[in-house]
Amino acid sequence: NNHPDLRRFFLEDDYGYPLRKDFKDEVNIIEYPN
């Protein structure tokens, strides 16, 4: 289809891995109850 890889389209290159359970985002803090 000649389209770019959009998996990290909205993320910075050094953003990290937001799907990891131990991921910490200091800007958009979302607490998940354990």
Give pLDDT, residue 15.
Answer: 61
- Which of 33, 30, 4 lies closest to 18 in space, CA to CA? 30
pTM greater than 0.85: no
| 10's tokens | 């909205």
Q: How far apart are CA 21 and CA 33, in angstroms?
A: 11
Q: Which long-range contacts (CB under 8 A, 24 or more apart) does 24-29 make?
A: none
* pLDDT per residue as tens digits for the range 1-34: 566 666 655 666 666 555 666 556 666 666 667 6
Task: State which residues form the domain around 23.
Answer: 1-34
Q: How far apart are CA 22 and CA 5, in angstroms?
A: 25
- DSSP-assigned letter for residue 28: S
Give pLDDT, residue 33.
Answer: 72
Report how many domains make up the chain: 1
Give pLDDT, residue 21.
Answer: 61
